[in-house]
Structure 1
Amino acid sequence: MLSTPRSPSALWPLAVSCILPVYNEEGCLEALLNELTAQLNGLGRPSEIICVDDCSRDGSLALLTRLRTDHHRLRIVRHTRNLGQSAAFATGFQVARGQILITMDADMQHDPTDIPRLLRALTPETDMVCGIRANRRDNWIKRVSSRLANRFRDMVSGDRIADAGCTFRALRRTALPELLVFNGMHRFLPTLLRCRGLTVVELPINHRPRISGVSKYGIGNRLWRGLLDCVAVRWYARRAIPARRWEHVPNPVSPPHD
């Protein structure tokens, strides 16, 4: 049975939810789940792994279903149609039970051993920690296009994020209310939080070569949509309402009754 959204009363305090969008990642999933489980075992707190299958066309869903027998933390959600990575993250945010959320790709280029470092950097004053892919292990076309996209994005949005395309992040659930959800959200998530007055920091992480599958993104399917997204996010940043905008006013002490 696939997982369904949980009510706020079902949240686990101090727990960690790892959210992985899955689209045709059959060759990576078993090894990745083994690595993730080893790291989560060492955290000493409740945790879960949420795999959001975005209508994979390979055997990813069947493999996840089999792996659930050996991985008690694993929860599976499946989209009814292919909606993209941002939608998968939004679905994961909705169903996650942890107060701290880890987002990462399912292609094993993100290293689960970096999770403790991300969590340590998520101090009480921090709402999100974003990874910066150090020594990036992609071909030169992806590296150059990503660098140019980051510079253009920073120029238009007015916010500087060193590696907006890196989805390996740790964030607090309290940063999510009123979050603007759209196709492409995952690349602008740090800026969307910052423009609402939340605190985002960056941390270098390890980056590994892809061992299976192919990249879902390239210049052709990112260029024009990315340009329009930058303009839209700039508009939103100028009009965003602060997240922390109120304080509770204590009720006056009632005088004693005679």
Structure 2
Amino acid sequence: MAEAPRLSVVIPVFNEQDNLEPLLAELTPVLDRLGLPWEVLFVNDASTDASAQVLARLAAAEPRVRIVTHRLNSGESAGQASGFRAARGELVLTMDADLQNDPADIPRYLTALGTGVHCVCGYRADRQEGWLRRFASRTANRFRAAITGDRLRDAGCTYRLIRRQALADIPVFNGMHRFLPTLITAQGGTVTEIPINDRARRFGVSKYGINNRLWRGLVDCFGVRWYQRRALRFDRVADT
């Protein structure tokens, strides 16, 4: 019987057929060197390209790969939520399927997840994007900080390592993935950041732009501010 995983890597997928095989090829040796049992959960968000076929082939060749499939395209927040629900590891790593997140950074995430830390967020010190996207991100981060008090350097980066304990009571909504560290902090968790390597996209096209990311995120800040004032702390019951 296979050993239960300690680390679950959750990767939402929408039309990333050309990135999946090279991503797993990079991930596997990095994860093997960690010395702890792992699994990779690809969440296929109703892709319309050949992503489903590629994932099926990868899962058949590697038993530590699992596939979760959405019948309807529901977005990155739904992809992460489905992955969290299916994950078996006590630690959950979220990353994108577009090869822009560097698997070589994973050991540094684990090092940063020290005692008392519930979430480690990456920030892209040298972003491989155009000036308009960088400007939009800076604007959104400043607005977000003003409304929620969140001081993350790179709130848009979804490359994170999280203790599953901190995910148990996280509310699921469209846009949740953008505010996950803020939601964890509101429940009493501790969040830290590390610089990571950001890489340019090699295959496919980005699914997110100014219109479907910036404006919605700014509006969501007010809902998250409300939640910060109402959230229950997750460390409520002590073992006896």
User: Does TM-score exceed 0.5, indicating one fold?
Assistant: yes
Structure-1 separation of matches of 2:64 and 2:47: 21
1:16 aligns with 2:7: yes
Larger Cα Rg: Structure 1 or Structure 2?
1
How far 1:223 sits from its partner (Å)? 3.3
The amino acid that maps onto 2:139 is L
The amino acid that maps onto 2:126 is N
Match of 1:232?
223
Match of 1:154?
145
Match of 1:202?
193
The amino acid that maps onto 1:150 is N
Match of 1:256?
none
Q: Secondary structure at the match of 1:98?
A: coil
Q: Secondary structure at the match of 1:18?
A: strand
The amino acid that maps onto 1:49 is V
In structure 2, the CA distance between the partners of 1:32 and 1:246, relative to structure 1 (3 Å rule), is same
User: Could you report, residue by residue, the CA deviation over 1:60-98 in whole angstroms, capped at 9, with x for unpaired residues?
Assistant: 111111122322211011101000000000000000111
How far 1:140 sits from its partner (Å)? 1.3
Which has the larger helix fraction? Answer: 2
Q: 1:81 aligns with which of 72, 84, 87?
A: 72
Structure-1 separation of matches of 2:15 and 2:9: 19
Structure-1 separation of matches of 2:188 and 2:175: 21
Is the 8 Å Cα contact of residues 22 and 56 (structure 1) preserved in structure 2?
yes
- Cα RMSD of the aligned pairs, angstroms, is 1.5
How far 1:159 sits from its partner (Å)? 1.6
Is the 8 Å Cα contact of residues 178 and 217 (structure 2) preserved in structure 1?
no
Structure 2: unaligned runs, 5 residues or longer = none
TM-score, normalised with respect to structure 1: 0.89
Is the 8 Å Cα contact of residues 136 and 214 (structure 2) preserved in structure 1?
no
Q: Secondary structure at the match of 2:161?
A: strand
Q: 2:122 aligns with which of 131, 143, 149?
A: 131
The amino acid that maps onto 1:158 is G
Match of 1:106?
97
TM-score, normalised with respect to structure 2: 0.96
Structure-1 separation of matches of 2:202 and 2:68: 24
Is the 8 Å Cα contact of residues 7 and 91 (structure 2) preserved in structure 1?
yes
Structure-2 separation of matches of 1:223 and 1:31: 30
